[in-house]
Structure 1
Amino acid sequence: MEKEMLEHYLSFNRRRFLSKLSLGIGSMALGSLLIPDLFNGGDTDDDTAFTPGIPSFAPKAKRVIYLFQNGAPSQLESFDYKPKLREMSGQNLPASVRGGQRLTGFTATQANLPLVGSFTDFKQYGESRAWVSDLFPHTAKIVDDLCIVRSMHTEAINHDPAITFFQTGSQQGNRPSMGAWLSYGLGSENKNLPAFTVLISRGKGNAQGVYSKLWSNGFLDSIHQGVQFSKGEDPVLYLRDPEGMNKTDRRKMLDKLSTLNQLAYNELGDPEINSKIRQYEMAYRMQTAVPETLDISKEPDDIIKLYGTDCMVPGTFAANCLLARKLSENGVRFVQLYHQGWDQHADLPRDISWQAKDVDQASAALVTDLKQRGLLDETLVIWGGEFGRTNFSQGSITKDNYGRDHHPRCFSIWMAGGGIKPGIVYGETDEFGYNILKDPVHVHDFHATVLNQLGLDHEKLVFKHLGRRFRLTDVAGRVVKDIIA
């Protein structure tokens, strides 16, 4: 009798164990579909516990639109007014101000470093009384919606490492970009569109290169890589069905391909195979979603007037700003714009005038458009480049002409919406515009603050790779709480 009871007890517990196990495996499988990175590269330490797809705390913003001004616009001709430079124009930069800071190869051998004031005037605008250059009249009108940060600084002094640093948190390549980290951390809001998209435009000035490593997924799942939209007839390459194939045939082909990929995954266990399956499915859904989202033919005349007529010309900065609004309002988590042409080592007055005209109206229009649609509070808009420009001229100063070299020690950006305080100027530089006097903001601090606004703790957004825990802010960064509303 005791033997029969023992066998019954063991049998019951075996059944219960297997039942619970099957539920657990089913839950794990469902979780891996809903949150693709749930079992991929995570960390189990309590102090770095993070679940992809779930914010660490309540977010103030849902999305980011980053208007990256590639080539480094001069803060001295945009948002950091320095009348002292006009007074001392032509005089050599005092050694006490430079403090032995390194220069690029362009100016390191110059016998003199002649100070040069801005060719353009500045005025104060809005209740914030922020100084804005005459080159940016449209931005001046929305200054009370902006947080102008004048105390940005970086470690890189040349373009490629500096741009890479801003986009990935590292001066070397092969790291995930900001958009990839956000895609990994929060996932997508729209299953028919990628979480991370890229738009590129070019001005008339000297253009620094823009490379795909800037929107790379790095060591994260390839589903998190940015999708570049082009200005051509096909905004996403290879998205259309091949000639002679209809939607039904395409669906059958993808189903067969998915079956083969699943067999390969069952045999090899490579998670990248599942990523490929998801990418094929995303491409199929994008065939309908992308043309609908990028269609601006139904935009009313007042919106076209707001952005300027250039918004009707594919590939322009204005057109990309309008598309950024459409992508963002349709749930794209991170929209990255690059506008090339800001590298003004010579002919700065002419070239920066071109560039400012390219971007001023559309940048301001984007903020205004989001605000009037009730989307600005949940969308963080960022405007700025990879570093600033020197207060001295590269080469000699001629009448109404000069150039400025790279300057990583201090420069300006602006942010709007997404829970950032509006109508403030944060940080202060010296009267020469060479060093920061108050409230410095490093690139890692900038990244930590952006992640914070989207509900992500930058110290917990971690991915374990090759035995090391990686994060966007590396081993540094602090949230700049004073600019948070």
Structure 2
Amino acid sequence: MNQPIINQFESHLNAVSRRHFLSSSAMGIGSAALAGLLNESASASNVSTGQFSRDEFGGINGIRDIAPKAKQVIYLFQSGGPSQIELFDHKPGLEARFGQNIPDSVRMGQRLTGFTNKQKTLPVAPSKYQFKKRGDSGATVSELLPHIGSVADDLCFIKSVYTEAINHDPARTFIQTGAQLAGRPSMGTWVTYGLGSECHDLPSFMVLTSIGSCKRTPQPVSSRLWGSGFLPSEYQGVKLQSVGDPILYVSNPEGVDRGLQGRTIDGLSALNDLHSSRMGDPEIEARTKQYEMAFRMQMSVPDLTDINDEPASTFELYGDDAKQRGTFAANCLLARRMVERGVRFVQLYHNGWDHHQNIPRDLPLMCGDVDRASAALIKDLKQRGMLDETLVIWGGEFGRTVFTEGALTREKYGRDHHGRCFTMWMAGGGIKPGTTYGATDDYSYNVAENPVHVHDLQATILHLLGIDHTRLSYRYQGRDFRLTDVHGHVVKGIIS
């Protein structure tokens, strides 16, 4: 790089550093004295700056103090709240209670959303769909999900998940970041911050989104759900686009070849290294790593997204939708290709599960989007010998109420948000296959057996990756934060 430019930059930094010291020395010296009085430990200081000893994959040395059962995660997030009553939590006794008001002894004064809190009655709406016992495990799965039913012996259905959030944004934020308020790091960020990645040419945390066939997306997902919060930005999720370049600006502009791009990155890295040595800001190092990763992705992303090398058997498994970019099926196939290449955490969001008014119209469309592809992903990973090391998670931010919202007929009914019990399933990565864990009451309204709080779910995911959730923390604004806050217990009953 041109040495006179470096010299000018050094002179500028020296001037800035002198001014910064003179203007802030009182506060800086006072802070140092206060730190001495409080006797802050070296470990706490390391947490606040992120300066840990890291292993060959970029993970924190010693963070895995549990034998890991999973190396990577694929999280199939069904945004909007799938109805557990229609899909997994079979309640045949509800048919005899059609149209009856839900008993006060069941509701127990539960807070309702603004959609139903002014209804004079809360009439019970039985599901119109049939259920079958599937596989040797005998798991009950709706007729709407025949393909998922076909892999029931590979799944663990958790029917007793619960959350205190009752609206979409706080509920999604809670299950993805461990807090209902925005600003915390996402689960994928926590995982990749702790474990790093075995992939050199792709980000350790990648995100894919799709829109359901019912075309109802009143609550689109926000990028902060895969953001890094107060953790270094190099660990935030990188989203693949469904139109145009898979990654924004992954292609060079006209007139810029790869050699020029490489020299530009080298120059920026030199300037950032110089700036970092003076300022000690870890975010500068993170920025340098992101530039370098972006350069490598110009080669790796086109290879990742080019599915022409997939055999015909792949599309026989996933269906023709997997050939259409931006569909849930295509994203499931890309997720498999990502974990094959060493990506640590893959997050899929499928929007459109918020069915307040007409479940018989909208729910079959959503199930048609995800049923075949979800099962295909399990089968694909299994036949490649990858399911044992890949944890697959399927579920939304909450479930739906047993009572209808608005009018009720046997052919048309809707359901409100419900966080007191809902169903998720998990597979691979140390999960006990062919099991059902937890149970709800006769109305699928309250947990009756083995409750699993959102923080318990998060603690268990980290445990399967070999991490004690109480140890993966980060000091920010004078407090140690973690994904599970001060809560969470590992759900040992679902671990093989």
The residue type equivalent to 1:123 in the other structure is: K
Query: Where does residue 132 of structure 1 map in the other structure?
Result: 141
User: Following superposition of structure 1 onto structure 2, how do residues 314-463 of structure 1 map, counting pairs within 5 Å?
Assistant: 314-463=325-474
Shift of 1:234: 0.7
Shift of 1:305: 1.0
Which of the numbers 116, 139, 152 marks the counterpart of 2:125?
A: 116
Which of the numbers 72, 80, 87 marks the counterpart of 2:81?
A: 72
Shift of 1:293: 1.5
Q: TM-score, normalised by structure 1?
A: 0.90
The residue type equivalent to 2:187 in the other structure is: M
Matched-pair contact (CA < 8 Å) for 1:53–1:187: no
* Deviation digits for residues 126-166 of structure 1 (CA, Å, limit 9, x no counterpart): 11111100000000100000000000000100000000001
Matched-pair contact (CA < 8 Å) for 2:205–2:344: yes
**Pairing 1:81–2:90 present:** yes
Query: Where does residue 39 of structure 2 map in the other structure?
Result: none
Matched-pair contact (CA < 8 Å) for 1:153–1:410: yes
Matched-pair contact (CA < 8 Å) for 2:163–2:453: yes
* Deviation digits for residues 305-359 of structure 1 (CA, Å, limit 9, x no counterpart): 1001000000000000000000011100000000000000011111000000000
Shift of 1:182: 0.6
Shift of 1:399: 4.1
Q: Distance in 2 between matches of 1:469 and 1:56?
A: 19
* Deviation digits for residues 352-376 of structure 1 (CA, Å, limit 9, x no counterpart): 0000000000000000000000000
Matched-pair contact (CA < 8 Å) for 2:87–2:145: yes
Shift of 1:294: 1.6
Q: Distance in 1 between matches of 2:481 and 2:321?
A: 41
Query: Where does residue 29 of structure 2 map in the other structure?
Result: none
Which of the numbers 237, 248, 265 marks the counterpart of 1:226?
A: 237
Comparing 130-139 with 268-277, greater Cα deviation is found at 268-277
Matched-pair contact (CA < 8 Å) for 1:38–1:52: no
Q: Distance in 2 between matches of 1:151 and 1:269?
A: 47
Query: Where does residue 276 of structure 1 map in the other structure?
Result: 287
Which of the numbers 462, 465, 471 marks the counterpart of 2:482?
A: 471
Shift of 1:277: 0.7
Matched-pair contact (CA < 8 Å) for 1:135–1:353: yes
The residue type equivalent to 2:92 in the other structure is: P
Matched-pair contact (CA < 8 Å) for 2:213–2:369: no
Identity %: 57
Query: Where does residue 201 of structure 1 map in the other structure?
Result: 210
Query: Where does residue 175 of structure 2 map in the other structure?
Result: 166
**Pairing 1:150–2:162 present:** no
Q: Secondary structure at the residue paired with 1:406? A: strand
Q: Distance in 1 between matches of 2:269 and 2:105?
A: 66
Q: Secondary structure at the residue paired with 2:136? A: coil
The residue type equivalent to 1:128 in the other structure is: S
Matched-pair contact (CA < 8 Å) for 1:41–1:465: no
Matched-pair contact (CA < 8 Å) for 2:459–2:484: yes
Q: 1:298/1:53 Cα in 2 relative to 1: closer, same or farther (>3 Å)?
A: farther
Matched-pair contact (CA < 8 Å) for 1:254–1:280: yes
Query: Where does residue 262 of structure 2 map in the other structure?
Result: 251
Count of aligned pairs between the two proteins: 444
The residue type equivalent to 2:162 in the other structure is: H
Q: Secondary structure at the residue paired with 1:445? A: helix
Shift of 1:51: 3.6
Matched-pair contact (CA < 8 Å) for 1:76–1:118: yes
Shift of 1:62: 0.2
Matched-pair contact (CA < 8 Å) for 1:113–1:392: yes
The residue type equivalent to 2:345 in the other structure is: F
Q: Secondary structure at the residue paired with 1:297? A: helix
Q: Secondary structure at the residue paired with 1:383? A: strand
**Pairing 1:188–2:197 present:** yes
Matched-pair contact (CA < 8 Å) for 1:43–1:464: no
Comparing 241-250 with 278-287, greater Cα deviation is found at 241-250
Q: Distance in 2 between matches of 1:464 and 1:283?
A: 28
Shift of 1:204: 2.9
Q: Distance in 2 between matches of 1:344 and 1:317?
A: 19
* Deviation digits for residues 250-274 of structure 1 (CA, Å, limit 9, x no counterpart): 1111111111111211222211111
Q: TM-score, normalised by structure 2?
A: 0.88
Segments of 4+ moved more than 6 angstroms: none
Query: Where does residue 316 of structure 2 map in the other structure?
Result: 305
Q: Distance in 2 between matches of 1:43 and 1:395?
A: 55
Shift of 1:57: 2.3
Gaps of 5+ in 1: 1-36, 45-49
Q: Distance in 2 between matches of 1:176 and 1:320?
A: 23
Shift of 1:105: 0.8
**Pairing 1:96–2:108 present:** no
The residue type equivalent to 2:144 in the other structure is: L
Q: Distance in 2 between matches of 1:410 and 1:231?
A: 33
Matched-pair contact (CA < 8 Å) for 1:389–1:405: yes
The residue type equivalent to 1:177 in the other structure is: S
Q: Distance in 2 between matches of 1:85 and 1:186?
A: 46
